[in-house]
Structure 1
């Protein structure tokens, strides 16, 4: 290997970046022997890939796929001069701004969304790349007016005819950030004709999974 490269990213407190955050860090690389490079560049690339197969009983399966870029910024921080050779240790600090309206990092059997810092060393006959992945959580916005109320009725198993209860809850925040705690006040009432008489109230807490 002609060059050894480290991509050191300034980590956040919780280990992930939010949309709109500034991503900062330093590239450290060491070139063992005097080497001539045409360019050395850093690329901040966020993209999504999806693929799936559509099957039909009368025809073989058809494959579909799509790719979308969410951010693609490149900085060429070294352009080779005539006859110049590089050797030794070097550092290059960098910073990139995450766009606001981007999806979170994601991966399953049909879709991959990832964000990477890619450093490329280009010689006349060879290209070497080093990369580091950046975990991203996106903010979710909502067009629904808050708070939002909801309710349902439940028929209980009972020997008596009047065996219905009503539940009424209220969501103060419709959209929450990852790992946030959601409080849902719930009123439980017994339905008497057209009137619901409150009999209990409790708060339930739900933790979002990462």
Structure 2
């Protein structure tokens, strides 16, 4: 089929959309040969897919668990009757409102422990051309958009105290040997790019010297596929790690901590498949054979969702114009990609890589 498409979003492509916001723009498509259409549909789609492959000690016995969910599925029928389209260029305007309480866009692939996890949350504008006849194939073109959701606070926005301790084994003595961490966080809900303020106390009531105190920000993903327990993945956030010196026996150290969250890091909510959270981790490093004392302080990172909801209007009209490829395109014009079967993000395509209970 001799069709090509371009899309003009009325927003720079590197700027994320927010829930409740309107995605507006124009789709320009060129028909190189006169042809008959049966239906043209523009859409806003958004869905999530999760695949967890669990490795087995037995050969060819790995199992894959999957889950899917839909966040937005809006269709606007531009025309739904047979009509002939002459050679030329046509434009269709679109306005779609992103629903409230949808998760942020996500692309995640990682191997850890016995798991291989693939998770995607994707939103896109699509145009679909349907032609009459048994041997006339439907064509899809789509442009992905980035969505960044705010957070709904479920942690306290006031000082909270956390604590962790470990009783070390002390030979030939009945006296307890305890290493403890006590920390007070001023606010557990942090704006994107903001700073975490923590005051913590390390008490070394033991006969073992604490080698160092390490603090860092940790990103934690929680995945939930059908038929399998939750899987958690942890990763240190770069450029947030710091260490202090040793703490002798029978000593108490009080230390403040100011930890700035790097831009682009934010919590992910509103999905049953995946959650992304953050922890401030304080580690009292002990010599062998003792295990370290670790205190995790949960925080939420992001922005508050906007309350304003704008109206929407879907408009479509063909125009008689010529598409010239030699001229530089207008600002924010991009070529739309034709959807390939099997990519898993089209309601008319099957993704064979996400089969429940798949054996390999």
Q: After TM superposition, list the pairs within 5 Å mapping 1:78-89 onto structure 2.
A: 78-81=79-82, 84-89=84-89
**Residues 175 and 12 (structure 1 numbering): CA distance in 2 closer, same or farther, change over 3 Å?**
farther
Residue segments in structure 2 that go unaligned for 5+ positions in a row? 110-117, 166-178, 204-252, 266-360
Aligned to 2:71: 70
TM-score (norm 1): 0.75
- 2:185 is matched with 170
The structure richer in strand per residue is: 1
Q: Deviations over 1:23-44 (max 9, x none)?
A: 1111111112221110111121
Q: Which residue of 1 aligns with 2:119?
A: 111
TM-align CA RMSD: 3.2
1:208, CA displacement in angstroms?
3.9
SS at match of 2:150: coil
**1:131 is matched with which residue?**
142
Q: What are the residue-to-residue correspondences of 1:1-210 with 2, within 5 Å?
A: 1-12=1-12, 15-57=15-57, 60-81=61-82, 84-109=84-109, 110-124=118-132, 125-150=136-161, 169-172=184-187, 174=189, 176=191, 180-187=192-199, 203-210=258-265
Structure 1 runs not aligned, ≥5 long: 155-163, 192-197
Deviations 1:21-76 (A, max 9, x none): 21111111111222111011112110111112234446822222122111111111
TM-fit CA distance, 1:188: 6.6
- In 2, are the aligned partners of 1:28 and 1:91 still within 8 Å (CA)? yes
1:53 to 1:207, Cα distance in 2 relative to 1, 3 A: closer
Q: Secondary structure at the match of 1:143?
A: coil
Paired with 1:43 and 1:123, the residues of 2 have a C-alpha distance of 18
SS for the counterpart of 1:33 is coil
TM-score (norm 2): 0.46
Specify which structure has the bigger relative contact order, considering alpha-carbon pairs within 8 angstroms and separated by 6 or more residues.
Answer: 2
Q: Return the alpha-carbon distance in structure 2 between the equivalents of residues 47 and 149 of structure 1.
A: 36
Give the corresponding residue for 2:302: none
Aligned residue pairs, count? 193
CA 173–24 in structure 1, closer or farther in 2 if over 3 Å, else same:
farther
